[in-house]
Amino acid sequence: MKRKVLAAATLAGSVASLGLGYGATATSAGASARTSSSSCWAKATSVASCGGMQALVAAAKKEGHLNVITLPKDWANYGTIMADFTKKYGIQITDANPDGSSQDELNAIAQLKGQSRAPDVLDMGTAFAVKGDQSHLLAPYRVQTWANIPSSAKASDATWYADYGGYVAIGYDPKRVKVPPTSFKDLLKPMYKNMVAINGNPTQAGAAFAAVYAAALANGGSFSNIEPGIAYFAKLHAEGNFVPVTGSGSTVASGQTPILIWWDYLLASEVGPSVPGFKIVIPSDAHYAAYYDQAISATAPDPAAARLWEEYLYSTTGQNLWLEGKARPIELPSLVSGSTVNAAAYKALPPVDGAAKLTFPSTAQTAAAETLLAQQWASKVG
């Protein structure tokens, strides 16, 4: 499943509060025909650039199509979001490579440029969003609710912006795990031998990267020092507790990995339904959270539909649909303060102890952590 490297947060000062809630090959000619009808929207940096929302809807409907990539239908409620978007606007969606990676998204933009099946929009981790921006693959665009997105959670040039996120959590099957773990420290205990997994290789999978970052914070590390997290997983492996497979709902249900470190919303939505009594806890020694990011391809074959998609996602409807998928949308504080939040979905979020205020590491800190992890993970953990 999805792997993306993200913008991350931990307990510190206050910027945003997650604790509060804070197909077939096509020709380039086909792409050119679709894009030529939306030439203004291909360069639009806001909905006002080409005549407003009504004009955007009309242009997007004329295109009639949207290409998304790496969006599993059971991930953050994307199945419902895509179906509702199509129902509302009559725009058909092609979801390519739903189980792919953030790097796959960038590769697809470069490799499929000029083709009608090239990605229009992306949902990726921040490290990859920054990479895409630096490679001039992304188009700047400010959604109408731009002011509701914290400045630390969006690019200054509007090429990417946070969308939804959650906390790194420990999920476990109580039928197989008799003593509930509540911290990273607990997971080192002998009783959890051959039980603990993450959802892939942390040099490629964002949630796994986040698990290592969280472990670093639980063991004296910081945004600028992920090395204690690598050392932690090396010790977890040496103790025989770490299971080096890609953890998922199926590995938990089968008993191969009774304990899975993953995002709280994915543990709740993808594992919980298939594991009776499944439990989720936010580690007491590391409150670490992160967001994924949205972006529009600079060479989107359906530029109006791409921008309409972003407007939909950052509307009250779109934000609440992510919330219904047990993810914490970036505009959740605004939904709460404006009394437009889905109260039932908000209440159903996995609880977090205390009023956690969160700040984000800089892109430089994230990039440095990613680089060190790539250098050391294979040799120290395997």
| Number of domains observed in the structure of the chain | 2
pLDDT at 320 > cutoff 90: yes
* pLDDT score at 74: 85
Domain match, 34 and 158 both = yes
For residue 116, what is the domain's CATH number? 3.40.190.10
Whether 255 is covered by a domain: the verdict is yes
Q: Say what the alpha-carbon torsion angle 39, 40, 46, 47 is, to the nearest 10 degrees.
A: -100
Average pLDDT over residues 332-361: 82
Q: Which amino acid is at 165?
A: G
pTM for this structure? 0.80
* pLDDT score at 353: 66
Q: How far apart are the first and last CA of the chain?
A: 20
Domain match, 225 and 369 both = yes
Q: 292: which 2 tokens?
A: 């994924």
> In a 3-state reduction of DSSP, which class is residue 209?
helix
Measure the CA–CA gap between 305 and 256, rounded to whole angstroms: 43
Domain match, 306 and 331 both = yes
* pLDDT score at 25: 36
Alpha-carbon Rg for the chain in angstroms: 20
Measure the CA–CA gap between 301 and 153, rounded to whole angstroms: 27
Domain match, 262 and 273 both = yes
Whether 1 is covered by a domain: the verdict is no
More confident residue, 292 or 350: 292
Reported as a single tens digit per residue, the pLDDT across 21-78 is: 433 333 444 444 454 456 899 999 999 999 999 999 999 999 999 999 999 998 899 9
* pLDDT score at 19: 43
Measure the CA–CA gap between 231 and 211, rounded to whole angstroms: 13
CB–CB of 173/275 below 8 Å? yes
Whether 55 is covered by a domain: the verdict is yes
Measure the CA–CA gap between 376 and 143, rounded to whole angstroms: 39
Q: 311: which 2 tokens?
A: 């407007």
Indicate the range of 135-149, 320-334, 355-369 predicted with least confidence.
355-369
Whether 5 is covered by a domain: the verdict is no
Whether 28 is covered by a domain: the verdict is yes
* pLDDT score at 346: 93
Average pLDDT over residues 330-336: 95
Domain match, 28 and 46 both = yes
Average pLDDT, the chain: 89
Whether 4 is covered by a domain: the verdict is no
Please give the share of the chain, as a percent, with pLDDT higher than 90: 75
> What DSSP element (H or E) covers 323?
helix 316-324
Find all residues with CB under 8 Å of 132, minimum gap 6, and list them: 105, 106, 109, 122, 124, 138, 159, 160, 295
Whether 9 is covered by a domain: the verdict is no
Residue with structure tokens 């809807």? 57
The pLDDT confidence band at residue 348, using thresholds 50, 70 and 90, is confident
Q: Please, which residues bridge with residue 164 across strands?
A: 329
The pLDDT confidence band at residue 126, using thresholds 50, 70 and 90, is confident
Whole-angstrom CA distances from 271 to 82, 170, 180, 258 are: 22, 12, 17, 11
Find all residues with CB under 8 Å of 15, minimum gap 6, and list them: 9, 150, 152, 153, 357, 358, 359, 360
Q: Domain range spanning residue 104?
A: 20-164+290-350
Domain match, 150 and 88 both = yes
pLDDT at 81 > cutoff 90: yes
Measure the CA–CA gap between 56 and 48, rounded to whole angstroms: 9
pLDDT at 225 > cutoff 60: yes
* pLDDT score at 354: 54
Domain match, 257 and 296 both = no
pLDDT at 358 > cutoff 80: no
- Tell me phi and psi for residue 240, to 5 degrees: 85, 10
Domain match, 366 and 334 both = no
pLDDT at 86 > cutoff 70: yes
Reported as a single tens digit per residue, the pLDDT across 230-279 is: 999 999 999 999 999 999 999 999 999 999 999 998 898 889 999 999 99
Domain match, 208 and 301 both = no
Whole-angstrom CA distances from 269 to 174, 196, 215 are: 17, 19, 23
* pLDDT score at 229: 98
Measure the CA–CA gap between 309 and 306, rounded to whole angstroms: 5
Domain match, 178 and 323 both = no
Cα–Cα–Cα angle for 327, 332, 337, nearest 5°?
150
Q: What is the DSSP letter of 44?
A: -
Measure the CA–CA gap between 311 and 313, rounded to whole angstroms: 6
Measure the CA–CA gap between 168 and 267, rounded to whole angstroms: 10
pLDDT at 152 > cutoff 80: yes
Tell me, letter by letter, the H, E, C secondary structure of 141-159.
CECCCHHHCCHHHECCCCC
* pLDDT score at 357: 56
Domain match, 176 and 235 both = yes
Whether 82 is covered by a domain: the verdict is yes
CB–CB of 341/3 below 8 Å? no
Please give the share of the chain, as a percent, with pLDDT higher than 70: 88
More confident residue, 9 or 295: 295
Domain match, 232 and 364 both = yes
Q: What is the DSSP letter of 222?
A: B
* pLDDT score at 349: 84
